[in-house]
Amino acid sequence: MVQMAEPLLICLKQEEAAVKVAQLRDFTEKDWEDIFETAGQHSVVPLLFHALKPLVSQLNIPAPVWEEMRRGFYASAACNMRLYRELQNILDIFNNKGINVILLKGAHLAEMVYDNVGLRGMSDVDLLVKKEDLMRMEEELLAQGGVPEDCNRIITQDNFHFGYILPGEGLRVEIHWQLSSNKLPCRVDVEGLWEKAQPVKLGQAEAWVLAPEDLLLHLCQHSAKHAHDLSVRMLCDIAEVVRHYGAGLNWPEIGVRSRSWGITRAIYLFLSLAKELLKAGIPADVLDRLRPDDFDEGYLELVKQQIFTTPDNYSSCSAAKLWGEKGLGDKLKLMGARLLPSREEMSLKYPAPARSWRICLYYPVRWAGVLSRHGVSLGRLALGDKKMQASAARISKVEDLRDWLLSG
């Protein structure tokens, strides 16, 4: 599966120019069209343009393809600049109210790790705030005309952020109080994140970012959490953190923290892939020390397949998980969780308070929605559709992969 994306990986690898040119010189027009298409699927067109710009005079990139890459880069830069202007306004408001904010993922990476605001595209902004500041934060966002995505903002066992759409440019902001659901087996040390966070300035606005070691841990944990929709960009983020911070990374601390979070497998797997596929500068002896004793090398190939195989979309994750459960009791337990979530979870999606009798009226609405989304998949699985069953088996295997990565 990796061979299909080999040309894109050659372009993005952290190698010397002469080595890249030697490998790319004989690519055909069709090769470059395929590379551009694959880069679009993985959201790395700006990175591709940046990587090839010093080499373009030595390569046979068709002019229309090169122009599309150039447009992709400048469109990303323009979009990010608009997002950052909006973000600065939000940070100024929070600063004035004494609300501390940690920039997560794209908001941190694009400006301060990639060293070029156009290289790492963003569709929204992720921020981490302290749980005790959530109410004050919401008051400020609502006062600015922000529209909450959740009908009621209640902290449940499963949720870990609230979404808001701001007026003007329509910026979407996710406000996190932790980095993942409590239902996942890993446990992120949120207090430790705040203790080690580092102050930064975005324009004139003050904020915080994760310590380099915590940023790397977060990116690997996030990649594992999204095992169903992995992309080359996730590996690029990891490789860029390693490049940017270099020898300043405290690898022993990363090992200690990964064990504390319960993500040693995820750390080792994604660092290994970043080194293998993108030539990230991770010392071999570091990887040796980070490798868990119970690591299953077979999962490396499964993750590569996930990154480079186009999703078949034949079966929904919920239908596949229900089909994969062996015992009747397990199937009923899963069905109950899907059809009868807690009143608090229901109130996030439906416009009635959790303690109101009116929330009960929305359970039939949920059942109809579940049936609409998953009924066809379940019906085809029950009738023995081979393609659907193969899809369900693959999805179930990826579910197992995610749970394995985040449980040790």
Domain membership of residue 188 (yes or no) is yes
Per-residue pLDDT of the chain (408 residues; tens, 9 = 90+): 445 578 899 999 998 989 999 999 999 999 999 999 999 999 999 999 999 999 999 999 999 999 999 999 999 999 999 888 899 999 999 999 999 999 998 889 988 999 888 999 888 899 999 999 999 999 999 999 999 999 999 888 888 999 999 987 788 999 999 998 888 888 899 999 999 999 998 878 899 999 999 999 999 999 999 988 889 999 999 999 999 999 899 999 999 999 999 999 999 999 999 999 999 999 999 999 999 988 888 888 888 888 887 655 555 677 777 766 667 777 778 787 888 999 999 999 999 999 999 999 999 999 998 888 887 877 777 787 788 777 777 888 888 888 889 988
Domain membership of residue 406 (yes or no) is no
Q: Which of 283, 308, 333 is the last residue of a domain?
A: 308
Same domain as 338, residue 211: no
Domain membership of residue 202 (yes or no) is yes
pLDDT, position 1: 42
By CB atoms closer than 10 A (0-12, 13-18, 19+), residue 385 is middle
Same domain as 286, residue 168: yes
In angstroms, the CA 13 to CA 239 distance is 9
Domain membership of residue 371 (yes or no) is yes
Domain membership of residue 122 (yes or no) is yes
Same domain as 152, residue 238: yes
Q: For residue 129, give the nearest of 154, 159, 160, 153 by alpha carbon.
A: 160
Same domain as 252, residue 112: yes
Same domain as 278, residue 243: yes
In angstroms, the CA 79 to CA 10 distance is 27
pLDDT, position 334: 77
Q: For residue 388, give the nearest of 321, 315, 326 by alpha carbon.
A: 315
Domain membership of residue 142 (yes or no) is yes
Give the CB-side neighbour count of residue 194, counting CA atoms within 13 A.
14
Same domain as 274, residue 329: no
Same domain as 160, residue 108: yes
Same domain as 255, residue 208: yes
Same domain as 368, residue 336: yes
Domain membership of residue 82 (yes or no) is yes
CATH number at residue 214: 3.30.460.40
pLDDT, position 2: 47
Residue 269 CB coordination number (10 Å): 27
Same domain as 62, residue 90: no
Domain with 287 in it: 75-308
Same domain as 239, residue 179: yes
pLDDT, position 273: 95
Q: Which of 285, 308, 331 is the last residue of a domain?
A: 308
Domain membership of residue 405 (yes or no) is no
pLDDT, position 311: 58
Count structural domains, the chain: 3
Same domain as 211, residue 134: yes
Q: Which two tokens stand for residue 244?
A: 């940017």
